Amino acid sequence: MVNDLKVDFHVHSWASFDSVVSPEHLTRKSKVLGIIPAITDHNTMDGFKYFKGEIDFIPGIEIKTDKGDLIALYLQDLIPKNTSLEETLDRIREQDAVSYLPHMYDITRAGAGEVSDVDIIETFNARCPDYFNKKADEFASKHNLIKGAGSDCHFISEFGSTFVEMPDFDIENPKEMLNSLKKGRIYGNRSPVYLRGPIASLYKKIKRNI
């Protein structure tokens, strides 16, 4: 459909401690592919300044809670890491922001486990084994929750592998986004195994010390 938008709901920019995705590369690739990223850096919203006025993006953050990772989209005020999962969810709701549960079953990557009072379940994460994605998809179906997907990219080559095609919506309006996502169609391709794990943060550390 001509008016559909493509969104990658889980993208790490350079502002994440473990990502080597430069603002220049992400801006260029987003424009070329026509994919809107949700910028979901680990425990920081510092990356937004690189993209404002350059590309459309959904502001987000991946927060390390006591139970595991939780993404907040459209958050205004930072929620510090290590806040409890329950309090984090409360504070997301207080800000009329949107909660997105990433890689819920992946215990090797801080999956928070089964949490049903969230807005969106990530049912395809490009860095997750199929088994975990399938389980997340079943969980979302069982609880009638909205399904989302993201590349979880830490290298620019991963961006573009995974996105949701969804009817056009006002990108600044969280409610419109959720309504559109209900009709979304997920396109997912898993990232190569050699790009997963801590390799991006190791690469970043080495680069800093050169």
What residues line the site for Fe ion (CB under 5 A)? 62, 152
Cβ distance to Fe ion smaller for residue 13 or 180: 13
| Tokens describing residue 27 | 């801006």
Cβ distance to Fe ion smaller for residue 8 or 152: 152
- Residue by residue, DSSP assigns 154-190 as SSGGGTTS-EEEEE---TT-HHHHHHHHTT-EEE--P
Cβ distance to Fe ion smaller for residue 60 or 184: 60
Residue 157 CB, nearest approach to Fe ion (Å): 16
Q: What b/e readout covers 79-108, taking b as 16+ CB neighbours within 10 angstroms?
A: bebebebeebbebbeeeebbbbbbbbbbee
Residue 3 CB, nearest approach to Fe ion (Å): 29
The secondary structure of residue 191, as a DSSP letter, is: P
Residue 182 CB, nearest approach to Fe ion (Å): 23
The secondary structure of residue 192, as a DSSP letter, is: P
Residue 152 CB, nearest approach to Fe ion (Å): 4
Cβ distance to Fe ion smaller for residue 25 or 109: 109
The residue whose Cβ lies closest to Fe ion is 152
